[in-house]
Every structure is written in C-alpha cells, then in structure tokens.
C-alpha cells in the first residue's frame, strides 16, 4: 500500500518502531460514520484509548494512536437513501463531524483516518487473496430476500416484518434484530416481510457468498487466545465474551455482501459484491496506519517489537478477539496481533440507554455547547468509566464530582499553594519558590513524601494495566493528601513563626502541583496546560514519567521537583462551581430524544419571540398600523377591525440566493443567505434538499416571503421563506422565479391588491395559511394569486414545468 500523499509537510515525521524501546500501537474501535457520537461512544472507545496513549507518551514509550471512521456497509447506504444523497456524501459529512467532536475532546490521534480509501481497498483485497490462496474461504449458496421493484438483494436491516418469535409478534421487526424482544433474526424468518424502501414483499432468492472457515482455523485461534489473554492480561469481560463465542461452536462466517458501498470482492464472479463491514472495519486500523506512513508494515508486521493495544465497547469484542485475529492468522503472514484488549461495559444515560438511532442522551457536540469545560467532561466520563459493569451518567453526579472533586479538592489545593506563593513578600513569597533546606528530616513532609511515592507506584501499576479509573483515583488521592498536608502544617502560622518549615511546606506543595499536572495530563490535558502556565513552566519542561530520566524517583522527593528561585506565573481558579440551576437547565434541555428537544426549542423560540413582540409593542407605542391598533388602548384594540385578509398583507420580494449550504443538523434542509434588498442578507432555512440540487440553488433569483414570523429550524433561525410550486403529490418541487432583470429587493405586486404589508404576520390570525390556498401556477407556468400574476418591474414570475401546482 502507498501513502495518501496528503500528509501535512509541517507535521512531524511519522513515528516508526524503535529497536530496544517499547513500541506501542494503540487503536480504538472505529466509530460508525452515520451519526454523531454520544458520550457512551466517546468513553467506550476514543477517550479511553487517548488516556492510555497519553500515558504511554509520558512514560517515554514509542506509542502511536490510530483511529478513523468506519464508513462502509448497509447503514450508510440506508442513511444515504433516506437523505437522498450518495453514501460518499454521508461519509464526508459525518467524518468531519466526528473529527471536530474528537478535536474538542482533546483526543490525540496520531492519525484519524477513514475506511473509504484506496488504501483500504488494497489492504482488504490483499488479505482476502492470501486467505483464498491458503484455502480458508468456502463458497456457499444462501437464500436472501430480493426486491423485484428495487432490483436488488436486501440487506437484513432493509427488510421489515412480523417477529417470528412466539409471544412477541412485533409487527415492525427488522430483518437483523427485533427491537421489541431483542432477539437476533434472519430476514428470511420474518413473517409478512416487506422491503423497507418500497414496501413490496421481497422474494427469497439464492445468492452465492464467501465464508471464512473459522472451524478450520480453530486450533491456531485458540492457541493465540490462550497465550495472549494471559500475556496481555485481557479484561474479564473480554475473556468471557470470547469464550461465549468459542463455546457456541465456531461457525463459518460470511464475509461478503450484496451491496454497492463497500470494498469490492476482487473475483470475477463476485464482482457485484463487496466485503462485509465487519470483515473490512478492523482492516481499517491497518489501512489508516498506511495513510500515516508508507512504512506501516514496521508497525503491523512486527510482532516481536510492537505491542498492539485495542480499545472498544463490549459489543465489539468477538470481532477483535475471534474474527480479526482469524483473518490475520489465515494469511500465514507475520502480523502484529492484539496483545491487550481494553473493553468497557456501557455508560447509560439518566434513566435509560444512550441511543444514536433514537437520539437519546448527550452527544459530542452537545457537550461543547454546555460551556462546561472539556477537562470537566473528560474527568467525569473517566471517573465513571464502565470498566466492570454498566455505569450511569447523571447530571447530578456530574455536578457533585465537578464541585467536590475538581473544585473543592484539586482546584482548591493548587490555588491555595500558588496564591500563597504569589503573595507579596511579608505575606507570601513574591511568586518565587522558596528553598526547602532540611525537607528530608521534616517529619510531616517525610510522611507525605512516602505516601506520595506509594501513590505514584500504584498509579503506574494501574495505568500499565489499563485500569484507568484506578489510575485517576490514585492521582486524585495525591491532591487530597496535599490538602491534608497544608491543613496540618498550618502554613499560614508557620510563615510567621517558623519560616524555614513554611518554605519546606511550600516548595514541597508546589512540587506536588507539578506532579499532579503530570499524572493528570492523560486524563485532563487542558487542565495540565493551564497548571503549567500558572507555574510558568514551558511545556517541554513538563515532568515525564520515564524511569530512565529518574522522574519517578523524583516524585518521591516532591520538594525537588521545582527548583528554588523559580518564579511562578499568575494563579487563577482552575474550576468553577456548577450551580443547581445550571444543572437543572441541562437536565431538562437534554431530556427525551433529540427530536423532542427540537420541538421544545422551537416552541420556546416562538414563545420568546411572541413575548419580545409584546414588549416592543408596549414600549414604542405604535407607528405602523398593526402595532398602533394594539397599543393605543388595551380594551379598544380588541374592537379594532382586523384588516381584510388578502395577498396585500404579504411582503413578497425578489431575492437572490448569495450562499447556500446543507443544514449541519438536518439532512433535508438547506441554509441560504438571501439578498432581499436589506443591509444584510437574510438567513433562510428551506426543506429543498430532496428536490433541488445545491448547485442549482446557488445565485438563483427567487420570490421570498419576508414577513413570516422567524422560526428556528433544527437550531438555525429562518427569517423568510422561499416560494416554490409543487405537484399535488409533492414529488416535484420548483422555485418560483422572477425575471432575470427584476430588481433585488423589489416587492412583488398583485395589481388590484395594493397596500402596506404587515410588519410580521401574526401566526394566530392565519393570514398566510388563508392566502396560500389561492397561490398556484396556471397552465402557462405563471405564478398567480387567484388569477393575478406575481408581477415585478421586469415582468411576471414563472416556474419551469409545474402546471397547476400549488405555491407555498
């Protein structure tokens, strides 16, 4: 395989294994591309692997961390079909979203790639050919639903029907699994099956597929599992899940699919098929490494010198302990097989499960929007990492941990130390770290140093075994010890009564501050950067945890960590209190599904707009006719006649789309900037993605209804509406177009219906809804209100092909 050639020339050269060093290759389960990752996904894979990668780098190991989006397969094809775009477009969009979320979470990948690359095709096909040459593949005929209308075989999840299990009989069971009873299914078992796309009943047809002969590979596989699970100290949950598979008896596993979006099977008679996503996804680790360096084989075909650590949630285990190793073993090549697997159980959300498909829980982008700093998020997720059993995310727990552990313990310790040192001479040390003569014989300090030494040992032991939660807890204990030490020493009294002892306490404490910044760096890198800034230490001076450099020994003599005479920077509080009302706000904001939240947000926005309007009316006391009618005298206004409902009350203007893009959170919507003759263009959201290609929207002249009440659509406020004609069945939609030479911003006229438009149409009066009934195109393709054409200074407005359509 070659390199992508896309490497950034300014980036450091890719790391390669170094003889004699510990070379550690770290991967986290490739997140599936079709959605935004939630906090469960983040702690289950990328964040956990990131902590370990950062720890390895601190230890001076030669480590790289590889991940990327898993892009092929049915789920992407289905999502693309739903969104009326290509699978590639779905992948491009979500790859960027994933990348941004992980960037915000400070995930330190050496390469975050993707699986839809030529390198992936090359890697998969090469491995496949080896398996074929070595006779580990079997061809079998399967029966699969085929849709005559859609002219294709249907993936299991594209078939819906009644669950065949007695007592369930759920009518919308998916071909791969029944959501109601949770049982795994074969699409052919469903009663009354239907194609999910066209709702026709599929037929069952024969189709040939290739299978990996796992039973024949069993001996090789078991030898690997037995040796490596001990050598790599696999976690109990990984061992259990693997043995459950072995116990069920290894069966041949199908590695091909009748799909288009995937790596093509390089055999003439299979040329219409692609590899199954679980065959190709783990090979993604290899191909993404090959995009990082041409010398990828030094990492992947070098088991003597490289240790492979893989991180994932529990549902991914058998694919990494059985399927992927069997695939690699079957090639007969000298692959670096997984040494250690770190598996999480599930993080659940408040009272239920995180769900991508149902949109339940807090998602990567939501975390950012809360303004709770990333270090708090990382800390909370890691203290709550589901290492041995499922754990629960609750807002109350996040608040308690943030306030009690980060603010009151860690933040408090650091701030007390640095603020005291920063005080002017006479009250403190004028920011200069004092000396610590006699620290070895200062009893309180000696006792503290012994405890800290032990904690550091325990921290290292836990982290080496990937017991991340334990590592974090141990590091935090050092902060508690620090607080107790400060308290016991009564340093504020010592300052007045025993200056040498006070200096010892302060220099030891500032050493602990630096040690904490180091030990906690894998968990909260942004916190460590800030502490080092407040300590006025350059990042390169950061203490490492290398045995060779003697750093671990130094941790046992904390007064030696920061030299006397060093000038610290300005101390600032590191954490903020999370208040009850904030937490309550988040809890209700993120309750229910994402869809519920959008509805709630829109209702909220409408309410606020209504209130604002009322406020404005009473403040400026009139001017325009609508306002004055209401504001002149409360009771009187009730009797004022509502102006007659006609097109004259609508403010339809000629506009030009100056910019258009897809809505970041809604696949059916565009977000446009439209010039309607005002100082600023208006932002308008339109549901036209399925009907008009993006490039055809660009620079188009349009008719824009400008006095609808602004409304938020999936988080973006739309300040007008683009008028379109549609056929009665809504299958075709076209823009209502003014003549090219019409003036941007001019009001579209309807001769005979003159008059000033309403400032803003009151939704309660249903003006728009009433007028809309009479908006249509005629047989000449002219846009009309009743039978009066939409008229501009340059002529009438038309549509391109829809006759007698309705306009809205």
Q: Which residues make up the interface to ligand ATP (CB under 6 A)?
A: 29, 31-32, 40-41, 43-45, 312-313, 315-316, 344, 346-347, 354, 356
Nearest to 428 by CA among 495, 527, 374: 495
DSSP, collapsed to helix, strand or coil, labels residue 635 as: helix
Nearest-angstrom CA–CA distance, 398 and 582: 12
- Our CB check for ligand ATP shows the closer of 45 and 235 to be 45
Between 293 and 310, name the residue whose CB sits nearer to ligand ATP.
Answer: 310
> What φ, ψ does residue 257 adopt, rounded to 5°?
-145, 150
Least distance between ligand ATP and beta carbon 386 (Å): 6
- Residue 433: closest CA among 541, 543, 549, 537: 537
The distance of closest approach from Cβ of residue 198 to ligand ATP in the complex, given in angstroms and rounded to an integer, is 24
Q: Round to whole Å and give the CA distance between 452 and 483.
A: 13
Distance (Å, rounded) from C-alpha 109 to C-alpha 68? 9
Minimum CB distance to ligand ATP smaller for 45 or for 445: 45
What count of other Cβ atoms lies within 10 Å of the Cβ of residue 35? Answer: 19
Shortest distance in whole angstroms from residue 240 CB to ligand ATP? 15
**Residue 32, strand partner residues:** 70
The smaller minimum CB distance to ligand ATP, of residues 23 and 45, is found at 45
Burial class of residue 731 in the structure, from the number of CB atoms within 10 Å of its CB (0-12 exposed, 13-18 middle, 19+ buried): exposed
Closer residue to ligand ATP (CB): 316 or 321: 316
User: Closest separation between CB of residue 355 and ligand ATP, Å?
Assistant: 8
Tokens describing residue 420: 């005291």
- β-strands 391-393, 347-349 pairing: parallel
Q: How far is the CB of 63 from ligand ATP (least distance, A)?
A: 20
Q: Which helix (H) or strand (E) holds 447?
A: helix 443-464
Minimum CB distance to ligand ATP, residue 711 (Å) = 32
Closest CB 345 distance from ligand ATP, rounded Å:
7
**Which residue, 360 or 410, has its beta carbon nearer to ligand ATP?**
360
**Of 196, 113, 101, 86, nearest in space to 667 by CA:** 86
Nearest to 804, CA basis, from 738, 693, 729 = 729
Contact 280, 72 (CB under 8 A): yes
- Which residue's CB is nearer to ligand ATP, number 46 or number 265? 46
Shortest reach from residue 210's CB to ligand ATP, in Å: 23
User: At its nearest, how many Å lie between ligand ATP and the CB of residue 347?
Assistant: 4
Strand order in the sheet with 806-807: 733-735, 724-726, 806-807, 775-777, 783-785, 788-789
The distance of closest approach from Cβ of residue 312 to ligand ATP in the complex, given in angstroms and rounded to an integer, is: 4
Smallest distance, Å, CB 41 to ligand ATP?
Answer: 4
Choose between 314 and 507: whose C-beta lies nearer to ligand ATP.
314
Residue 264 phi/psi, 5-degree rounding, is: -65, 145
- Going through 491-553 in order, the beta strands assigned E by DSSP cover none
Q: In angstroms, rounded to a whole number, what is the distance separating the alpha carbons of residues 187 and 169?
A: 14
Shortest separation between residue 180's beta carbon and ligand ATP, angstroms = 17
Residue 507 Cβ vs ligand ATP, minimum distance, rounded to whole Å: 43
Nearer to ligand ATP, 112 or 491 (CB): 112
CA 115/CA 290 separation, integer angstroms: 11
Decide whether 354 or 377 has the Cβ nearer to ligand ATP.
354
Residues in the chain: 808
Identity of the residue, 75 or 518, whose beta carbon is nearer to ligand ATP in the bound complex: 75
Dmax (CA) for the chain in angstroms is 100
Q: Say which residue the tokens 């003759």 belong to.
A: 677
Residue closer to ligand ATP by CB (options 207, 344) is: 344
Nearer of residues 116 and 707 to ligand ATP, judged by Cβ: 116
Closest CB to ligand ATP among 31 and 87? 31
3-state SS, residue 717: strand
Shortest Å, Cβ 238 to ligand ATP: 12
Q: Which is nearer to ligand ATP, 387 or 521 (CB)?
A: 387
* Minimum gap (Å) between residue 688 Cβ and ligand ATP: 29
Beta partners for residue 360, in sequence order:
355, 593
Q: Which two tokens stand for residue 561?
A: 């960590």
Name residues whose C-beta falls within 8 Å of residue 23's C-beta, 6 or more positions apart in sequence. 17, 61, 62, 63, 299, 302, 305, 306, 307
Q: Which residues contact 764 (CB under 8 A, 6 or more apart)?
A: none
Euclidean distance between CA atoms 379 and 473, whole angstroms: 10
- Residue 38: both structure tokens together: 């939630």
Q: Output the CA–CA distances (angstroms, integers) from residue 296 to 291, 306, 342, 506, 568, in the order listed.
A: 8, 12, 23, 49, 44
Least Å distance between CB 42 and ligand ATP? Answer: 8
**Which residue lies nearer to ligand ATP by CB, 50 or 551?**
50
The sheet with strand 652-662 has its strands ordered as 682-686, 670-675, 652-662, 701-705, 721-722
Structure tokens belonging to residue 33: 């591309």
């Amino acid at each position: 395989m070659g390199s992508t050639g896309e490497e950034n020339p300014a980036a450091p050269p890719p790391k390669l294994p170094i003889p004699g060093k510990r070379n550690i290759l770290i991967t986290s389960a490739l997140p599936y591309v079709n959605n935004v990752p939630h906090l469960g996904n983040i702690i289950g894979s990328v964040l956990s692997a990131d902590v370990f990668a950062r720890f390895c780098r601190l230890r001076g190991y030669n480590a790289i961390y590889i991940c990327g989006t898993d892009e092929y397969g049915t789920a992407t094809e289905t999502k693309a079909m739903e969104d009326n775009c290509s699978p590639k477009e779905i992948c491009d969009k979500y790859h960027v979203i994933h990348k941004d979320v992980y960037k915000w979470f400070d995930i330190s990948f050496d390469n975050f790639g993707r699986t839809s690359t030529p390198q992936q095709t090359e890697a998969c096909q090469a491995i496949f050919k080896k398996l074929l040459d070595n006779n580990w593949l079997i061809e079998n005929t399967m029966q699969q639903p085929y849709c005559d209308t859609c002219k294709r075989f249907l993936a299991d999840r594209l078939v819906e029907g009644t669950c065949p299990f007695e007592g369930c009989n759920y009518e919308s069971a998916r071909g791969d699994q029944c959501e109601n009873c949770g049982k795994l299914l074969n699409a052919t078992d469903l009663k009354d099956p239907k194609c999910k796309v066209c709702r026709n009943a599929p037929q069952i047809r024969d189709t040939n597929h290739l299978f990996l002969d796992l039973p024949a590979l069993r001996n090789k596989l078991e030898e690997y599992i037995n040796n490596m699970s001990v050598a790599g100290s696999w976690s109990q949950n990984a061992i259990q899940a693997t043995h459950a598979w072995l116990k069920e008896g290894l069966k041949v596993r199908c590695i091909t699919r009748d799909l288009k979006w995937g790596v093509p099977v390089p055999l003439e008679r299979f040329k219409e098929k692609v590899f199954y996503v679980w065959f190709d996804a783990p090979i993604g680790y290899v191909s993404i490494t090959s995009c990082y360096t041409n010398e990828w084989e030094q990492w992947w075909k070098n088991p003597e010198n490289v240790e492979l650590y893989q991180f994932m949630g529990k549902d991914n285990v058998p694919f990494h302990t059985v399927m992927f190793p069997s695939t690699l073993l079957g090639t007969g090549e000298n692959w670096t097989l997984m040494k250690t697997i770190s598996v999480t159980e599930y993080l659940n959300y408040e009272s239920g499960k995180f769900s991508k498909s149902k949109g339940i829980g807090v998602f990567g982008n939501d975390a950012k929007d809360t303004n709770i700093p990333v270090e708090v998020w990382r800390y909370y997720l890691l203290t709550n990492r589901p290492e041995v059993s499922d754990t629960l995310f609750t807002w109350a727990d996040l608040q308690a941990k943030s306030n009690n552990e980060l603010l009151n313990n860690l933040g408090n310790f650091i701030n007390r130390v640095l603020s005291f040192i920063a005080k002017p001479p006479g009250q403190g040390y004028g920011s200069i770290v004092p000396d610590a003569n006699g620290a070895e014989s200062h009893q309180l300090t000696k006792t503290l140093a012994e405890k800290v030494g032990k904690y550091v040992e325990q921290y290292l032991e836990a982290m080496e075994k990937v017991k991340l939660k334990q590592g974090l807890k141990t590091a935090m204990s050092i902060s508690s010890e620090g607080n107790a030490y400060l308290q016991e020493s009564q340093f504020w009294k010592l300052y007045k009564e025993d200056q040498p002892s006070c200096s010892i306490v302060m220099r030891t404490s500032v050493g602990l501050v630096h040690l904490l910044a180091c030990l906690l760096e894998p968990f909260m890198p942004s916190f460590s950067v800030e502490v080092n800034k407040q300590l006025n230490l350059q990042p390169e001076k950061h203490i490492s945890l290398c045995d060779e450099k003697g750093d671990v020994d130094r941790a046992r003599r904390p007064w030696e960590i920061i030299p006397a005479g060093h000038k610290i920077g300005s101390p600032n509080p590191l954490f903020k209190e999370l208040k009850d009302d904030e937490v309550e706000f988040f809890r209700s904001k993120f309750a229910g599904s994402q869809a519920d939240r959008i509805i709630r947000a829109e209702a909220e926005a409408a309410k606020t707009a209504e209130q604002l309007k009322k406020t404005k009316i009473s403040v400026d006391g009139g001017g325009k006719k609508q306002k004055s009618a209401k504001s002149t005298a409360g009771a009187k206004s009730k009797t004022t006649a509502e102006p007659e409902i006609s097109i004259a009350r609508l403010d339809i203007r000629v506009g030009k789309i100056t910019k258009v893009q897809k809505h970041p959170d809604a696949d059916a919507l565009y977000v446009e900037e439209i010039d309607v003759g005002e100082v600023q263009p208006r932002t308008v959201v339109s549901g036209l993605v399925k009907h008009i290609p993006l490039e055809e929207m660009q620079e188009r002249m349009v008719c824009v209804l400008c006095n609808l009440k602004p409304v938020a659509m999936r988080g973006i406020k739309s300040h007008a509406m683009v008028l379109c004609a549609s056929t009665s069945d809504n299958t075709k939609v076209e823009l209502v177009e003014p003549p090219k030479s019409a003036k941007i911003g001019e009001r579209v006229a309807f001769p005979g219906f003159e008059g000033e438009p309403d400032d803003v149409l009151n939704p309660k009066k249903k003006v728009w809804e009433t007028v809309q009934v009479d908006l249509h195109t005629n047989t000449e393709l002219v846009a009309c209100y009743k039978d009066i054409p939409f008229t501009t200074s340059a002529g009438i407005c038309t549509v391109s092909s829809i006759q007698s359509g309705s306009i809205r």
